[in-house]
Amino acid sequence: MLVNTPDFDKLALGEILDPIESQPANLLPMLQAIEGRYRYLPKEAMVEVALRLKIPKSRVFAVANFYKALSLTPKGERIFTVCQGTACHLRGAPSLIASLEKALGISLGQCSKDGRNGLESVNCLGACAMAPVVTVDGEVHGAMTAKKVSELI
C-alpha cells in the first residue's frame, strides 16, 4: 500500500537528494536517504527519484518493494520488533505480539497515529538462546514475557 504524506516537502526532498549524484546506480542510496528522513518512502518522493534518474517509476517502485529495509508505509519513531523464528515462536512470540498490539493500540506492521510507535516482526534475529526476543530500536531484550513487554513500553 502506498501512502501519500501531507508533510511531504519537495524542497526538503531536494536537500536530501541534491548531494547524491543523479545516476541510476544511485537509486538505492537515494531511497535510503529518503527513508532516513521520512521513516518510509512517500509516493511523491519515489516519483521525483524516477524523474531525477530518468528511469521508469516502475523500476523505483520495484526496488522499494524488494528491500525489506525500505517501507512504503510510515514507521514509528520507536520500532518494536518481535522475532518469530522457531525458538521464539515456541517460547511465546505470538503472545508477545498480542501484548504489544494491545498495549500500543496497533496491529503488527502498523504505526501509531501519532507516529511514535511501530510494531514489526522478523523471521529470525539470531538470538535463539535468549528466546523469545523483542528489540526496541535495535536494542535486544531476551527472555521476554507479557509483563516485561509492558515494562519496555
What's the CATH code of the domain at 135?
Answer: 3.40.30.10
Identify whether residues 55 and 93 lie together within a single domain: no
On the question of pLDDT at 11 being above 80, the answer is no
Tell me, yes or no, whether 73 lies in a domain. no
Total domains in the fold of the chain? 2
Tell me, yes or no, whether 44 lies in a domain. yes
Q: By percentage, how much of the chain surpasses pLDDT 70?
A: 95
Q: Chain centroid to CA 97: how far?
A: 16
Identify whether residues 112 and 60 lie together within a single domain: no
Write down the pTM of the prediction.
0.74
Residue 32 near residue 46, CB atoms below 8 Å = no
Mean pLDDT in residue range 21-35: 96
Mean pLDDT in residue range 35-42: 91
Identify whether residues 62 and 93 lie together within a single domain: no
Identify whether residues 58 and 84 lie together within a single domain: no
Tell me, yes or no, whether 117 lies in a domain. yes
CA-based nearest residue to 84, from 68, 70, 95: 95
Tell me, yes or no, whether 49 lies in a domain. yes
- End position of a domain, from candidates 66, 91, 113: 66
| Residue 140 in grid coordinates | 535486544
Mean pLDDT in residue range 97-125: 94
pLDDT at 74: 86
| C-alpha span between 123 and 134 (Å, rounded) | 12
Identify whether residues 92 and 131 lie together within a single domain: yes
Identify whether residues 62 and 15 lie together within a single domain: yes
Q: Identify the domain containing residue 120 by its residue range.
A: 78-152
Q: By percentage, how much of the chain surpasses pLDDT 90?
A: 80
pLDDT at 1: 46
